Amino acid sequence: MADHSQERPLHELLSRDMVDIYVGPENTHWILHEKLLCYRSRFFRKIFYYDNKTAKYKNHTYGVPEEEDGPFRLFVGWLYSEQVPPARHEEDLAWLFDLYLMGEKWEIKSLQLDVLEAVRQYYHDNDTWPELRRVQYIYANTAPESPMRELLMQCVARMLVLREDGLPAHWEKALRHNGPLAVDIILCVQKWHALEADRVPDVREESVMSFVDELEHRAEVIGCPFGHEEKLVHGATTRGWGSGRRVGEREN
């Protein structure tokens, strides 16, 4: 959780100057204390504060039509209390993730930290892991260096490594189509030096049939790659490296 001990007292930030924020497609109207909003957010300081070049205040109103009322209501609550409500159910995380994205967009580090802690606490207390849709949503709306990405990715990496029943089909499909997530997970696992080397399978020390048989079985279950139905010969299709063509030779 963010350290708010060095923050200015709330009463010092409740000036008489107010700003109008219009939220969502319905333009829900919020009236907020300008000094408080600008103290918390560097983004809004650029919007509302005095412009030395023009010697004028920039704006008194601002619209965020892309935001939803629910998450913005959480933002207003945090703005005046510096508290993020804990998630009681998985569904509660949807608004928390949107609240976090507001923190990134509006350059409010303390809000980001508070939401990160709330999300971490939810997964810890409920002994559960992020759902695929949550991870995909965050990856689609954040930059590679996003702390929320890191939190969710590390949770997923641990979940996938410790699972005893294999990789779930929906996660396998997602990792095949989301290169950044797959790479992040690999890099994360590589950093886990605490994992004993002798517990990590070394494909160089086992017969190739140990994975060829598995690939053949998978092909029989889900069909050959790219929709082809060529017969498998010793684990390879009659096209590709089992076709008799040399490596690198083009197919006519």
pLDDT tens, residue by residue, 215-242 = 667 666 655 543 343 343 333 343 333 3
- What does the H/E/C string look like for the chain? CCCCCCCCCHHHHCCCCEEEEEECCCCEEEEEEHHHHHHHCHHHHHHHCEECCCCEECCCEEEECCCCHHHHHHHHHHHHHCCCCCCCCHHHHHHHHHHHHHHHHCCCHHHHHHHHHHHHHHHHHCCCCCCHHHHHHHHHHCCCCCHHHHHHHHHHHHHHHHCCCCCCHHHHHHHHHCHHHHHHHHHHHHCCCCCCHHHCCCHHHCCCHHHHHHHHHHHHHHCCHHHCCCCEECCEECCHHHCCCCCCCCCC
Entry pTM: 0.72
- Over 60: is that where the pLDDT of 1 sits? no
Query: pLDDT tens digits, residue range 162-195?
Result: 887 777 889 888 888 888 999 988 888 877 766 6
Mean pLDDT value of segment 135-140: 95
